[in-house]
Amino acid sequence: MIIHHLIRHHLSHGADAGFYALQARDAIRWLREGGVRIGPGVNALDLGCGSGVLGLELQREGCDVLFADAHNWLPDA
């Protein structure tokens, strides 16, 4: 179960980038299991993106992602 991985990671490393990446990858897995197509040719909106962890994982899967947040938390590219 993902919760065990999250707890173990959080206890060892805190809420670092790896912790949020685990959550994002699990969310993508869950979406796929629900029949959502993820990959090249898919447009995604990461609304309330914060630092963009979910959107970055979607980009790694080949999606074209638009990041949007009320604050600019994204690092400069």
Count the domains in the chain.
Answer: 1
In a domain, 77, yes or no: no
**3 state SS of 58:** helix
In a domain, 75, yes or no: no
18-64 residue pLDDT tens: 778 888 999 999 999 999 999 999 999 999 888 899 999 999 999 99
Tell me the C-alpha distance between 23 and 54, whole Å: 8
Could you give the C-alpha distances from 73 to 2, 10, 57, 64, in angstroms and in order? 26, 22, 17, 19
Tell me the C-alpha distance between 33 and 9, whole Å: 24
pTM: 0.75
Q: Determine the structural domain holding residue 34 and report its residue range.
A: 2-68
In a domain, 74, yes or no: no
In a domain, 30, yes or no: yes
In a domain, 76, yes or no: no
